[in-house]
Amino acid sequence: MVKLICFAATHSTSGFNVLTYFDMTQPAPQNAPKINLRRPDIMEVVQAQVLSHYRSELVERMRAKGQVVSANGDLTIKLAKEFGFCYGVERAIDLAYAARKVFPDRALYILGEIIHNPEVNDQIRDMGIKFLSGKEKSASLDDLKEGDVVIIPAFGAEVSLMDKLKAKGCQFVDTTCGDVMSVWKRVRQYASESVTSIIHGKAWHEETKATSSRATAQGRGHYLVVFTLAETDYVCDYIVNGGNKQEFLEKFKGAYSPGFDPDQHLQALGVANQTTMLRGETEDVQRRLRAAMVRRYGPDDVTRHFRFFDTICGATQDRQDALQKLLQEPLDLLLVIGGYNSSNTSHLAEMGESKLPTYFIKNAAKMVSDELIVHYNQHLQKEIETANWLPSGRVTIGITAGASCPNNLIEDTIKRLFVLRNVPLQEVLRD
Ligand code: SF4
């Protein structure tokens, strides 16, 4: 029997939602047992635990004082107005912690990283929650049996995987973000109208895999994932001029639905995007595809052949907007803090790179000294070292952090900068 633990898909910035219903993407089974993980007694403990792990007094003080901290007039640090944990991440973490409290003696599993931050995933593992995939994998699907509790990460999971777990009789703590579910709704709609979903995203990312699986979930529909503008242009050219089908299929291997045929399935398109893409780029993708459809089918018929819904989430947008604003101020360099596999964080780093020296780091320890920083180069997909990264003399540093980065890591980074500049921390923490 399939058992479901049910949650509301609404958010609050406090992260404490009222349990109301189960996985909103599926019809509710009759008499599905419901377990309220958000009981006040549970949430009181969870809140204290989450705060003790991730809170930062320094960051809160900076928020209250215009996002700036400065010492000796020598080092000034400016935080973007929006940064760090989003509502979806807060909710996912709360639910995972609550699950541990509600099931203290049960084996608890998680499909993979709950969010893309190594420190947060370490905490989850330290609570005895077993990972079913990834570098930290400590159990496999074969180990699962009826009644085992499986946490679904904030990105959601593929339909086929959910079906397997249901068939095993697992219980779910489903932390899928409501904004991700909105994309699922969109691609389902496209499928029901025989419109191929063009998903702007990373075909290898958990969220995009989960979304792609919804584009074919009703036994019909097709999808194609495009990541870059160059890929988009290739698709546009194929739409307008046709091309070599085998070459097309080879180029997009692993990024389209079974049976996808570019000669048949590019005649009616609906664009959706991974929630964490760069807005400007997503708009470009849809503009280029629309223009191709106009060239192919004419302006009068384009509405029959092309649809677009922006599915970038509010939190991603807010962080990009806030960084855009921060980048208009005079800064010497930018630090972007977050997990290297975090999509929204990598886009913040991209924004910074286009304007000024930008260092994408996962924690403060990466600032080895004032002469050496180890940081992630997303184009090379590896950490690299940069010497003489911290200018001498008066310096102003901008900081932002991805939606999966906790405040305590931001505080560590700020403190480390002051240590590197030999500013006593008491001076920073004064008043
Ligand atoms: S980044 Fe957006 S989609 Fe992802 S968890 Fe946060 S709010 Fe949800």
pLDDT of 304 reads 93
Q: What's the 166 CA to ligand 1 centre distance in angstroms?
A: 25
Each residue of 237-247: pLDDT tens digit?
999 999 999 99
Q: Is the pLDDT of residue 258 over 50?
A: yes
Our answer on whether the CB atom of 161 is closer than 6 Å to any ligand 1 atom is: no
Our answer on whether the CB atom of 344 is closer than 6 Å to any ligand 1 atom is: yes
Arithmetic mean of pLDDT, 17-22: 32
Q: What's the whole-number average pLDDT of the chain? A: 90
Structure-token match 């004082």, residue found:
65
Each residue of 30-57: pLDDT tens digit?
344 556 787 888 989 998 999 999 999 9
pLDDT of 147 reads 86
Our answer on whether the CB atom of 88 is closer than 6 Å to any ligand 1 atom is: yes
Q: What's the 276 CA to ligand 1 centre distance in angstroms?
A: 7
Arithmetic mean of pLDDT, 207-212: 97
CATH architecture for segment(s) 3-51+88-177: 3-Layer(aba) Sandwich (3.40)
For 199, the 3-state DSSP assignment is strand
Quote the DSSP letter at residue 137. Answer: B
Q: Is the pLDDT of residue 3 over 50?
A: no
What whole-number distance in Å separates Cα of residue 346 and Cα of residue 402?
Answer: 8
Across 105-186, where does the E strand assignment appear?
108-110, 129-131, 149-152, 171-174
Residue nearest to atom 7 of ligand 1 (CA): 88
| Annotated active-site residue in 90, 113, 206, 207 | 207
pLDDT of 19 reads 33
Q: What's the 88 CA to ligand 1 centre distance in angstroms?
A: 5
Task: Enter the CATH code of domain 67-85+319-429.
Answer: 3.40.1010.20
Residue nearest to atom 8 of ligand 1 (CA): 88
pLDDT of 309 reads 87
CATH T-level fold of 181-312: Cobalt-precorrin-4 Transmethylase; domain 1 (3.40.1010)
Beta-carbon neighbour count of residue 131 at 10 Å? 20
Q: Helices 229-241 and 279-297: crossing angle, nearest 10°? A: 10
Each residue of 314-346: pLDDT tens digit?
999 999 999 999 999 999 999 999 999 999 999
**H helices within 252-313, ranges in order?**
279-297, 302-305
Arithmetic mean of pLDDT, 111-126: 93
Which value, to the nearest 10 degrees, does the dihedral of the CA atoms of residues 16, 98, 206, 162 take? -110
Contacts of residue 147, Cβ cutoff 8 Å, sequence gap at least 6: 3, 169, 170, 171
pLDDT of 4 reads 44
| Catalytic residue flag (residue 350) | no
What whole-number distance in Å separates Cα of residue 61 and Cα of residue 330?
Answer: 22
Quote the DSSP letter at residue 98. Answer: H
What whole-number distance in Å separates Cα of residue 130 and Cα of residue 145?
Answer: 14
Q: State the span(s) of the chain assigned CATH 3.40.50.11270.
A: 3-51+88-177
Q: State the span(s) of the chain assigned CATH 3.40.1010.20.
A: 67-85+319-429, 181-312
What whole-number distance in Å separates Cα of residue 305 and Cα of residue 45?
Answer: 53
